[in-house]
Amino acid sequence: MTNELPQVFWLFSIGAILLLITGFYCLIMTYNLVRALIGLEILTKSVTLFIILAGYVTGRMALAQALAITLIIIEVVVIAVAVGIVLCVYKNIKSIDGRLLRNIKG
Amino acid sequence: MTINIILGVSLVLAAAWTVMTARLLRSVIGLALTSMILTIIMFKLNSPLAAVFELSVCAGLISAIFISCISLTQRLTDEQAATKQKERFSKFWLLPVILVLAGVALYQVHIPLDFHLQAAPSESDVRNIIWNLRHLDLIGQIAILLAGAFGVVALFKD
Amino acid sequence: MLSPLLLLPLLAIMILNLPIRSLTQKLSVWVGVGLSLWQIVAVILLATGRGCTDTWGKFFTLGLSCDNLTLVLLMSIGIVTLTTILVGWQTIGGDKQRFGFMNLVFVAMIGMNGTVMLTDLFSLYIFIEVTAVASFILIAYQRDTNALEGAFKYIILSATATVMMLLSISIMLLVVGDTSFAAVGSAVKQSQGNPLVMFAVGIFICGLLIKGGVVPFHGWLPAAYSAAPAAASVLLAGIATKTSGIYALIRLTTSVFANNESVNSVLLLAGTISILVGAFAAIGQSDFKKMLAYSSISQVGYIILALGCGTNLAIIGAVFHLFNHSIFKSLLFVNSAAVETQSGTTDMNKLGGLGTKMPVTNATSLIAFLSTAGVPPLAGFWSKLIIVIALWQNGLHTYATIAVLASVLTLAYLLLMQRRVFFGKVADGLANVKEAGWGITVAASILATITVGVGVLFPWMFNSVLMPISSFLK
């Protein structure tokens, strides 16, 4: 068990890093507002996995779980609000394509 | 170890599918799948409580939110979906390549794990930490839930 | 006295939302005024050493702490929230709408008060997120398309910042096994040069720079500030992004991540670029609020620059400028709210000659822009002076020169703004414009008085109020 620990850690770290790449790729390439939120979700999943891993490896499972649970709750609120905004956008312009939202130049 | 590898690979596959598929609905299902795999991984990593949260909130609630959002917004016909799929593929073909390359490269790396790794039994209970030691976080959570509630009211009422 | 700052707004929200709406809807504004006034009084009490015993806090393990930096921030939060509420009272029509708005302001207040008092990295993330969620909704509150776009941009960039911060927290958890400031601070100090720890510190700071809207991460800021409802942009520009981004940056770089050479050089660079990009972009804007937004980026640049310098004097300058900035930038946004409500536009091409029509707005706007540009004896001059002196003393002559020159640029674009909006001939269709309502003028007068007062009293304040600020530096 203890011998396997670094391997398990590194394996799932790779998984989490690949999730990060996927999420950022999605965020950069997409114009669809909902899909951007899905990209964010993937990023958050990756971070959750990182926190759980950190807790597992250092033996502070309880703290890591407490943090992960809090994180999940905050994530769902943010997504709910974001979806609300997307729906309002849809109501106004009948589309969820981000390219149509270029009234404000950043 | 084998099961861990399978879990890790399927996690990434599910995420990649989520991003690459053309229909938003499938994308959301892919997200839920990713969540479920993550839940299993969390169980394997000795975090049952967080795993349950992940399953019920992320795989359940968030999927429900997304699906209701999609059903309120977009309807694609099969033809549109097909052209969209092509479009997506031209944009996203790079992703699997990057993922495979990065995965292989990272697998070769052996990071010097100089921090002490010890999977000692956890020193206290999760519930104790949440309810007794981190009151500030609880206040924060209450506040953010309230903000979410006001937000939903403000954004949806007519 | 500390925990009530969190718990009272929470209590207020809960009582206001009891099912006696017909009564509470009218009361909400008064409750808001009361809460923010109480916060200002509480800060004064805390600063004079009274009221330090935390009776309520005994029932909770909150781990709040309070030093002079916290007090300065709590003070500005109190003042800016008060003005936001006054402006909201005036500009948001309908009891129901106003009621929802006030509730969100209270949530933002909890978020900001928590952010400045907590002592744990993960709690920091939570409270920054509370402030952010309240801000998203406040921006999108009136549901016009531009505001929704601004809010969505803000959500995406803010969530990216969040992911960075959480990644950093997980690395800290891995290396330290804990997330409290004390534990992380000592671990960072011990692990000098550990690449993993440096990476964690770097991405956390990156995340905070996004939240603070520092160039090159400023994409969301002009859209969000300019499209938000008038009252919301006062809160947002005045204090919300300052607490969640800049305060956290000051706290972490000074007390937790220890003064670190490479971090400092990055901050110096980011600060300078922000000052310049913000100032040059502001010149080209024709929208009143957008110009103010870019000006905000530029002013935040000064704070980051001072922080990068890292000496005690520089950090006093940074904190002082943070306070001043939150006052005069709120004032400018209050003025823009006045112009927007009275004339119906913020496009400077359509505005002109409002000075005679709106004397109070005109005068306070003049004070605010002179203070922003750093004209003596107003408050902004002194804080910029401290920053420039600190930079010069530390041998950073180039940066000091840039800071002074950019100040001239600030004067130029704000003068342009003042001339186009308030001076000259009255523009077409604005002949019937009147002074804004009492809520806005009272808010503007309060802020203008503070700006002038702090500026004039500065020589007396320097030793008794400003120098003690540095006591939080160890």
pLDDT confidence of C135, banded at 50, 70, 90?
A: very high
Mean pLDDT of C144-165: 89
pLDDT confidence of C222, banded at 50, 70, 90?
A: confident
Contact C215, C283 (CB under 8 A): no
CA distances from C377 to B129, C59, C175, C217 (A): 52, 47, 49, 33
Q: Between helices B135-156 and C3-16, what is the axis angle to 10°?
A: 40
C-alpha span between C289 and C222 (Å, rounded): 8
Query: Inter-chain contact B142–C137, Cβ cutoff 8 Å?
Result: no
Mean pLDDT of C263-283: 90
**Chains with 3 or more CB pairs under 8 A to chain B:** A, C
The torsion angles phi and psi of C287, rounded to 5 degrees, stand at -95, 130
Tell me how close the Cα of A82 comes to any Cα of chain B, in angstroms: 10
Query: Inter-chain contact A7–B1, Cβ cutoff 8 Å?
Result: yes
Residues of A in contact with B145 (CB under 8 A): 73, 77
List of residues 6+ apart from C34 with CB closer than 8 A:
none
Low-confidence winner among A29-38, B67-76, C10-19, C153-162 (lowest mean pLDDT): B67-76
Which residue has better confidence, C296 or B109? C296
pLDDT confidence of C53, banded at 50, 70, 90?
A: low
Q: Name the closest residue on chain A to residue B139, using Cα atoms.
A: A70
Question: Cα C307 to the chain's mean position, in Å?
Answer: 16
Q: What is the pLDDT at residue C79?
A: 93
% of chain C beyond a pLDDT of 70: 97
Low-confidence winner among A38-52, C127-141, C178-192 (lowest mean pLDDT): C178-192
Which residues is C120 bridged to in the sheet? Answer: C180
Nearest neighbour of C62 by CB, restricted to B135, B142, B154 = B135
Residues of B in contact with C110 (CB under 8 A): 139, 143
Tell me how close the Cα of C41 comes to any Cα of chain B, in angstroms: 23
Query: Inter-chain contact B137–A70, Cβ cutoff 8 Å?
Result: yes
DSSP letters spanning C353-411: -HHHH-HHHHHHHHHHHHHHHT-TTSHHHHHHHHHHHHHHHTT-HHHHHHHHHHHHHHH
Identify which of C21, C41, C247, C40 has the alpha carbon closest to the alpha carbon of residue C131. C247
- pLDDT tens digits for range C429-466: 777 777 778 888 899 999 999 999 988 888 887 777 77
Question: Is 90 exceeded by the pLDDT of residue A76?
Answer: yes
Gap between the terminal Cα atoms of chain B:
55
Mean model confidence pLDDT for chain C: 86
Specify the amino acid at residue C386.
Answer: I
Mean pLDDT of B28-56: 91
Q: What is the pLDDT at residue C272?
A: 92
pLDDT confidence of A100, banded at 50, 70, 90?
A: low
Nearest neighbour of B147 by CB, restricted to C107, C140, C174 = C107
Query: Inter-chain contact C60–B155, Cβ cutoff 8 Å?
Result: no
- pLDDT tens digits for range C160-208: 999 999 999 999 888 888 888 888 888 888 877 778 888 888 899 999 9
**Which residues, numbered 29 to 88 in chain C, qualify as contacts with chain B under a Cβ-Cβ cut-off of 8 Å?**
60-64
Residues of C in contact with B151 (CB under 8 A): 104, 133, 136-137
- pLDDT tens digits for range B99-140: 888 888 888 876 666 555 555 555 567 777 777 778 888 889
Question: Is 80 exceeded by the pLDDT of residue C36?
Answer: yes
C-alpha span between C358 and C368 (Å, rounded): 15
Question: Is 70 exceeded by the pLDDT of residue C45?
Answer: yes
Identify which of C299, C275, C312 has the alpha carbon closest to the alpha carbon of residue C398. C275
Mean pLDDT of B81-97: 76
Residues of C in contact with A20 (CB under 8 A): 163, 167
Identify which of C346, C344, C345, C366 has the alpha carbon closest to the alpha carbon of residue C355. C366
Q: What is the pLDDT at residue A75?
A: 92
- Taking phi over 0 as left and psi of -120 to 50 as alpha, with beta for the rest, B48 belongs to alpha
Q: What is the pLDDT at residue B70?
A: 87
Element (H, E) at C163: helix C145-176
Identify which of C240, C211, C207, C215 has the alpha carbon closest to the alpha carbon of residue C139. C240
Domain chopping of chain B, boundaries: 1-75+82-107, 125-158
Nearest neighbour of B34 by CB, restricted to A29, A45, A72 = A45
Does C118 touch chain B if contact means CB atoms closer than 8 Å?
Answer: yes
Does B55 touch chain A if contact means CB atoms closer than 8 Å?
Answer: no
Gap between the terminal Cα atoms of chain C:
24
Q: What is the dihedral of CA B138, B144, B150, B155, to 10 degrees?
A: -150
Q: What is the pLDDT at residue C247?
A: 92
Tell me how close the Cα of C218 comes to any Cα of chain A, in angstroms: 8
Specify the amino acid at residue C438.
Answer: W
Mean pLDDT of C353-371: 85
Residues of C in contact with B143 (CB under 8 A): 10, 107, 110-111, 114, 130
Q: What is the pLDDT at residue B127?
A: 77
Low-confidence winner among C22-26, C30-34, C309-313, C325-329 (lowest mean pLDDT): C22-26
**Which residues, numbered 30 to 89 in chain A, qualify as contacts with chain C under a Cβ-Cβ cut-off of 8 Å?**
33, 36, 40, 43-44, 46-47, 50-51, 53-55, 57-60, 63-64, 67, 70-71, 74, 77-78, 81-82, 84-86, 88-89
Q: Name the closest residue on chain C to residue A79, using Cα atoms.
A: C155
List, in order of start, the domains of chain A with CATH numbers.
5-95 (1.10.287.3510)
Contact C252, C327 (CB under 8 A): no
pLDDT confidence of A1, banded at 50, 70, 90?
A: very low
Q: What is the pLDDT at residue A104?
A: 41
Q: What is the pLDDT at residue C127?
A: 94
- pLDDT tens digits for range C237-270: 888 889 988 999 999 888 888 767 888 888 899 9
Q: What is the pLDDT at residue B76?
A: 63
Does B156 touch chain A if contact means CB atoms closer than 8 Å?
Answer: yes
Identify which of C279, C241, C77 has the alpha carbon closest to the alpha carbon of residue C150. C241
Which residue has better confidence, C249 or B74? C249
Query: Inter-chain contact C150–A88, Cβ cutoff 8 Å?
Result: no
Nearest neighbour of B54 by CB, restricted to A6, A19, A72 = A72
Gap between the terminal Cα atoms of chain A:
53
**Which residues, numbered 59 to 78 in chain A, qualify as contacts with chain B under a Cβ-Cβ cut-off of 8 Å?**
59-66, 68-70, 72-77
Residues of C in contact with B154 (CB under 8 A): 100, 104, 137, 140-141
Q: What is the pLDDT at residue B125?
A: 77
